[in-house]
Structure 1
């Protein structure tokens, strides 16, 4: 989910009433990022509380075993919490518990589990996925491919064809509510309610698509630096990551994306009502975030992995109705936070010691009422992000106000003033008055990369064309 798809932020189209209320009565972190903005490495940051150079996943690569000895659910379980995940994990093996007592799994479509032609595949999707097994019990012969949509089809959309209660979003909440019934009432609980949507396929129930399909949806932002023509017709590819997409197709895709978010929002409202029914609403700290965004046509780009705001900037909301953390309700935090900060934040909230391996920081001191806040040390000055992806591999630095990007295979550089230009329309890399800032951020990136195994830095300078890897050697 993109960071800006909240009506409380003034989005001109999308409606998110329940998330708006969580933000209005909680704390909104306006500069939250995913340092490695695709599913696998982002989730490694959540599970371990580590930056990408430590957890080892600096790009997207499946089927690399998850053998981390210390994880967020594992630490909570050891401290007496009843831990449960419902929905997406995206780990390997797919049924790895990662410290949870139990996982009710729906990862969406994972190619390595579905491909029947590979002799090395040890587990097939219909053997590991709980949602598909359940769905086939409701609709014999049903499959995830029935709508004809690819799991990464960013530009093709159509309505969900079955009853709404059979949609994966509803199923995730139904199973989560059932956990409230089945949990050990003598223990506190940790529930990770993990939605696949609004990730593709873009398949909202018809009622939600109807909310948006005839709405005047704004065009994507297009940078001055973005592609002007698409002579090879990449935009006609239904699973494109770039290109000029036919206007009607793109409008429907955006409408479906917004519809999926409102669908999730309403189902979150359903879960919050269930928390009330079980008497746990005021005894529960709620955190809402995403593993990455979706470019959705910005700069004629789609999907994620790139460092632009639509891809790397994510929503991050905390709500504490019981007042346990003394947060400044209705406030917005401007400091840069990252997914690795989730683990130390939740462990601190549960009064559990933070393991030495954790590199994130608890966000609570940023979010407390001003008169109560007493920070032990300054907050991070910047975030280093990256993603290995062939010719499109990037390294980037941001402090929430400025962003420096280096394409490691081509040497292309970009510099954006996010305060004056939040859409990243104007690349200021050659602006004469910005050269001091650019040199500074370039030097920061050099320091971050100077000891990297890829050899990105030599003699204190960035080196173009060094081969990127998705997984660092200590994890391989």
Structure 2
């Protein structure tokens, strides 16, 4: 079989449950539902360090957080990895193109891609007046450059008045064709026009939405504004202390205190998802019309989720399902990988680090020894198989720093500043409404998962464990000393 074309559709901050095919009662995603119907869905996919930079390090290197060194969010740390997803596919004979978000340093670090049409969204650290010329988004970001050419020097994504981490929502202020979601699809279609037809291609369509700002075109807001939306999930273990203290801050980690603002955030988030879905539909139709679809494989995923006011929380970096569980599916055209079982679901715990070895397996390329992930083609062929019994996740997040062990059925959480532990039986309680950490019937299982976490943390430089117990209050910087720095 000849090498297939590979299209990786990457989204930002998309929850694993916020899709039609995942059973969400409100969100409409007909094109992604189509891909799910034609391929295999991994419904226990996670981001082991659920924020933008660390998650993308896992995606591009195939490494776990303690190996790629990003265990939290920190800007301006150089990316100097020996093996990257695009670099290895380039060596395997692919022409490699990324369109949209990279979120690496420096901004124009191509990570092995032959070409990048860049839009990282609104990055605070790249917009300040003191930023060097080449690291300014207004210079390095292709979308910002294009938008100013189209609409004038004053045009900006901030014209809506909404910040990139805000729970506020309002429709896009310009014509829909100027929206960054449309721009990513436009640039992908232009790549298909100018590609070398003699070579297989790897196209990473890296969309920023539904990451805030929640600013989809007005048509998509209209789809949801009058609907009776499912309320955020609030269980029996949360407190409102943080919400009462921070719930009137526009970019709070708790979300809004005002329930109407929480509803508006839901409307804006769902509007961005359906807008994204329709733009992915444009890309799919172009692949069909150019007679590329049947010779291509499509992988769809996200870097992390969005709490969206579940448990009185907002944004990501948390150990809960809204934050760390992500969508992942593989769909193939009729001429490639016919053994992939259409309309199937795999329950194995998988992670972003598994994407790189999976794409390399599709290309028939060797997997570097530095890669920790597993190729998922075997699971796509037989969804009843599994690749790991449990997954360790983590995030340096100040007072909210956390580590967790998740399996196909349950989750153990350790908050590394306070030492607080939590346990959720996901089979019975998928929305983590009941913390059973003190349930006598669960103590043996909790001991087992705690031992898995101790095993995973043993030898780490932070000193989280002595090999017998977990030790809270240890220093936990977002970038490990061993991370690749210039």
Whether the TM-score (by the shorter chain) exceeds 0.5 is yes
Q: Summarize the alignment of residues 11-410 of structure 1 with structure 2, pairs less than 5 Å apart.
A: 11-117=24-130, 123-140=135-152, 141-153=154-166, 155-228=167-240, 232-325=244-337, 326-369=339-382, 379-410=387-418
The alignment partner of 1:261 has SS state of helix
The alignment partner of 1:279 has SS state of coil
Structure 2: distance between partners of 1:304 and 1:382: 21
Structure 1: gaps spanning 5 or more residues: none
The alignment partner of 1:457 has SS state of coil
TM-score by length of 2: 0.94
Deviates more, 1:98-107 or 1:269-278: 269-278
Q: Does 1:423 align with 2:435?
A: no
Equivalent of 1:447 in 443, 455, 462: 455
Question: Cα distance, 1:229 vs. partner?
Answer: 5.0
C-alpha deviations, 1:218-252, integer Å up to 9, x for none? 11000211123557441111111115521211111
The alignment partner of 2:157 has SS state of coil
C-alpha deviations, 1:188-247, integer Å up to 9, x for none? 000000001100000010000000011101110002111235574411111111155212
Structure 1: distance between partners of 2:285 and 2:352: 27
Aligned positions, number: 469
Q: Residues 134 and 333 (structure 1 numbering): CA distance in 2 closer, same or farther, change over 3 Å?
A: same
Structure 2: distance between partners of 1:243 and 1:124: 30
C-alpha deviations, 1:381-434, integer Å up to 9, x for none? 100000001111100000121000000000010000001000101000000110
C-alpha deviations, 1:295-339, integer Å up to 9, x for none? 000000000000100000000011102252211110000000100
Where has structure 1 moved over 4 Å in runs of 4 or more? Answer: 229-232
Q: Residues 229 and 68 (structure 1 numbering): CA distance in 2 closer, same or farther, change over 3 Å?
A: closer
Contact 2:255 2:308 in 1 (8 A): no
The alignment partner of 1:416 has SS state of strand
TM-score by length of 1: 0.96
- Across the aligned residues of Structure 1 and Structure 2, the Cα RMSD in angstroms comes to 1.4
Structure 2: gaps spanning 5 or more residues: 1-13
Structure 1: distance between partners of 2:243 and 2:155: 39
The alignment partner of 2:348 has SS state of strand
Contact 1:392 1:407 in 2 (8 A): yes
Question: Cα distance, 1:359 vs. partner?
Answer: 1.0
Question: Cα distance, 1:357 vs. partner?
Answer: 1.0
Residue in structure 1 matched with residue 6 of structure 2 by the alignment: none
Structure 2: distance between partners of 1:234 and 1:175: 40
Contact 1:2 1:310 in 2 (8 A): yes
Question: Cα distance, 1:32 vs. partner?
Answer: 0.2
Deviates more, 1:459-468 or 1:238-247: 238-247
The alignment partner of 1:335 has SS state of coil
